Each structure stands twice: as structure tokens, then as C-alpha cells.
Amino acid sequence: MIYLDHAATTFPKPEGVYRGMDAFVRQAGANPGRGGHRLAQEAERMIEETRALVARLAGAARPERVVFGLNASDGLNMAIKGTLKTGDHVVTSVLEHNSINRPLERLERDGTIAVTRVAAGPDHRLDPDDVARALGPRTRLVALTHASNVTGTIQPVAEIGRRVRAHGALFLVDAAQSAGAVPIDMERQAIDLLAFTGHKGLYGPTGTGGLVVGERADVRPWREGGTGGDASRPLQPEEFPHRLEGGTPNVFGLAGLRAGLQWVLERGPETILAHERGLLRGLLLALKRPDAWDWYGADGILLDRQGEGRVGLVAFNARAGAAPPQAIAAALDERFGIAVRPGLHCAPHAHRHLGTFPHGALRISVGALTRPEDLDAAAAALDRLAA
Ligand SMILES: Cc1ncc(COP(=O)(O)O)c(C=O)c1O
């Protein structure tokens, strides 16, 4: 099977991730806890190392403000539900994943908040001035994706962050598609809350991810429980990370995430992103009939500008609706052994923006371990289907 669905989750993981998980859970798979026995302390140490690696990757000043949860959705929910109050206004965009859309929609329908959704331009980018114009006296939060999982475009978060900070609101960035490939610097980009997932570009296992909480943000505790210390306190401790981390953490998963982060940091996100852009450019160059497909502007950027401003995914459709994306994905899977993702990609407004709602599009997404020959095979299969 040729796996081209890395935007959903990267697979396979680097060998060190499997080995790191296996070794850790055989040798020190205890329940972490400060002041516990040696194995508990070793598990605690591993988790603190993983926090420090996330902080390094995110340009966050204090590792203890890296909060672990299940995935990016967990981090986004923590941020949205832990900061908003009745009467608040939130600015978001049409490019968001349902992990932002749905919690906001719920709060809006409850009558708790009001939401403004900023449109993207024809190049699928948000204009920082449009975001600034949407800010109002009650705006507490601006919640935006760093890189769209449908259009693949990287958003100008630093320019947006400056405007949001000047206004006094909080800036929440969804780094599900960017962390590990696009450089992030929470300080420089004025990001207050950064939601990340461990199982995509950080090459960890599923069930890892969370939220980095900047100095300006305060997030209410949501899942209260044991924290491996401070047991006499009747309420959840105020201090990070325990404030937001009740219960036994995913020790197996975090051991894998630590290995994944080490692997990514050794290579460097920029190197990984250049590799991924090169692969998608190779796909377009290998196609004999690129015009049989609608690329929504990605083809020009990949061919003429080396994929500048994009992450390693591309959405496309058979031109003039010649066949629905689901049928093409099924043919790629069954006839050619190629895994791609069709449909709405959990981002219905992004597909409305592209004009591809309700059927969606096909999406090819690559990872650091994808080989050029995998894209050659995809190009040959697409040429056969186009014929
Ligand atoms: C842009 C974006 N945000 C959020 C998510 C949710 O990530 P997770 O499934 O890890 O919660 C995804 C996953 O595809 C995504 O692409």
C-alpha cells in the first residue's frame, strides 16, 4: 500500500518512535508522580523532557505551560471552553477544522458567545487587515488555523498576532497541520494559545497532543483529578501543567512523542517541509495529464514557486466534475493500492470557500518518510484514471 494520507496521521512512524515506546514501557512504564518511587520519577522525567521538546519546537518560554491531552481537538476545546465567558465575541475563519468550528458553534447556539467568520482570499489566505476589522469591543479570542488541512495554505500568523495583541484579545492557533514542518515561535508570532497534535508532523502515536498556554492566557481547569502530588488540596492546583492535567497521562504515547520530537528536531522542520513540497512538485511534473484535474491554484505555486507558503498536502478534483472524489479515491485504493482521503476533511466551510461543498475533494498528503517513487506511482494511477 502506498500511504498518501499523512495529514490525517503520519504512518509509518520513524523506527525510533516504535523502539522508544517499546523500551520505555518495558523498563519504566510506571504511573508518573513527583516524590514517588524511582520508576514513577523516571516516568515523570520522561514527560518533562517531552514538554521541554514541545516548548522548544513552539518557541514557548516555559515548558510547564505545555499541557498534554489526547490530540489537537482536546487542546482546542481546552482553550475555547477554558477562556470564553458569556457575552464574549470570537473571530475565526472559513478555513477551520471542525475541532474549532464545532465548539464555537455549540457556544454560539447556547447564546454564550457571538462568532464572526472571516473569509479567505482567492489565494486561500486570510488578510490580517480583515481579521483586524472583525475585532470588536467584546472580542476575547481569535481562533485560526496555522495551515489549512484542505487548501494547504500557511496563514500569516505573525501579522495577525500583532493586530490581535494590540487589540487586547487572545490569539489561539491550531497547529495541527503545521507543527513539525512550519517554524513556530509563540513569542515572535504573538500566539497566546497553541493547540498541537502529536500524531501528525511530530511523528508520535495517536492519543497525544495538547495545548501550549502563553503568559497572557489563563485557562480554567476542565478535567479535574489526580496530579501525582498535592493530594491534600481540595481543588485542582492552580499551577501549570497540573491545572489542566487531571488523571494518569498517556505514558506509552508520550514516550513515543518524545522520540518523534527528537527525530523532527534533529532533521529540522524546514528540511522536512522542503522535502514535502518537492514531493508534491514531483507529482505534478510526473503527471502526463495534469489538466484533467482541478488543483485550486496549488499547481502554479508548486511548479513556479517551489510550493512557497504551502504545507505538504494538495486538494484536487476531476475537472468539470467528471467523477466524484469518493469514486476516484476508491479506485486508487482498490485498483492501485494508493491511500488518499476524499470528502470534506472535517472542514465544511473550507470546502464551501473552494466551491467543493458538499462532495469535497481528493487530498494527497505526504510526510517526511514519503519517497518520490510513491508520487510517481500516484501520478501514473491518476493518468490511468483520467484516460
Ligand atoms: C487543521 C486541523 N485541526 C485540527 C485537527 C484535529 O486533530 P486531532 O484529530 O489530532 O484532534 C486536524 C486533524 O486533521 C486538522 O487538520
Q: Is the CB of 151 under 6 A from ligand 1?
A: no
Q: Which residues of the chain have pLDDT under 70?
A: 34
pLDDT given for residue 303 in this prediction:
96
Our answer on whether the CB atom of 197 is closer than 6 Å to any ligand 1 atom is yes
Looking from the CA of residue 96, the nearest atom of ligand 1 is 1
Atom of ligand 1 nearest to the CA of 174: 3
Q: Is the N-terminal amide bond of 241 cis, ω within 30° of 0?
A: yes
pLDDT of amino acid 36 = 84
pLDDT for position 140: 98
* pLDDT value, residue 227: 85
Burial of 378 (0-12, 13-18, 19+ CB in 10 A): buried
Non-local (6+) Cβ contacts of 147 within 8 A are 153, 154, 155, 175, 177, 178, 181, 182, 311
The whole-number pLDDT of residue 306 equals: 96
The C-alpha torsion from 59 through 61 and 63 to 69, rounded to 10°, is -60
What does the alpha-carbon distance between residue 147 and residue 154 come to, in Å, rounded to a whole number? 4
5 lines ligand 1 (CB under 6 A): no
| Residue 42 confidence (pLDDT) | 93
Would you state the torsion angle of the CA atoms of residues 241, 19, 37, 54, taken in this order, to the nearest 10 degrees? -20
The answer, yes or no, to whether any atom of ligand 1 lies below 6 A from the CB of 73, is yes
Query: What is the pTM assigned to this prediction?
Result: 0.97
**Closest-CA residue to 181 (of 286, 278, 76):** 278
What is the pLDDT, as a whole number, of residue 133? Answer: 98
Instruction: Identify which of 9, 70, 71, 99 to mutate to test ligand 1's pocket (most ligand atoms within 8 A of the CB).
Output: 99
